[in-house]
Amino acid sequence: QKEVEQNSGPLSVPEGAIASLNCTYSDRGSQSFFWYRQYSGKSPELIMSIYSNGDKEDGRFTAQLNKASQYVSLLIRDSQPSDSATYLCAVKNYGQNFVFGPGTRLSVLP
């Protein structure tokens, strides 16, 4: 059973701080990694995708991938109350289905 694990939270950070969201996965052959943001009552929206080891930055978001440790993380710099949402990690091995984690609920406190 391929699994993706995330701390369910809630993770609370003060406004302006860095939020760090973590995800581990069991399928060592996974090649594609994604972070989605889901506001309450809404559908998931793609934030970042990452395919190779290292960091990938997009605005205030940085995705970090370490395939040897089977670990992917999302850093949100200068966190804003509007970042409060559930963040879903998804992992994919070529030719197989996407596997989603249960999500981490982030709360950014004003």
Complex with another protein: residue 17 or 31, whichever CB lies closer: 31
Question: Binding of another protein at residue 98 (CB under 8 A)?
Answer: yes
Site for another protein in 57-96 (CB under 8 A): 88, 90, 92, 94
- Binding residues for another protein, total number by CB under 8 A: 21
* DSSP string over 15-51: TTSPEEEEEEES-TT--EEEEEEE-TTS--EEEEEE-
* 33 sits near another protein (criterion: CB under 8 A): no
Cα–Cα distance, 22 to 5 (Å, whole number):
9
Query: Rounded to whole angstroms, how far apart are CA atoms 81 and 15?
Result: 7
Where along the sequence are the contacts to another protein (CB under 8 A)? 31-32, 34, 36, 42-46, 49, 51, 88, 90, 92, 94, 97-98, 100-103
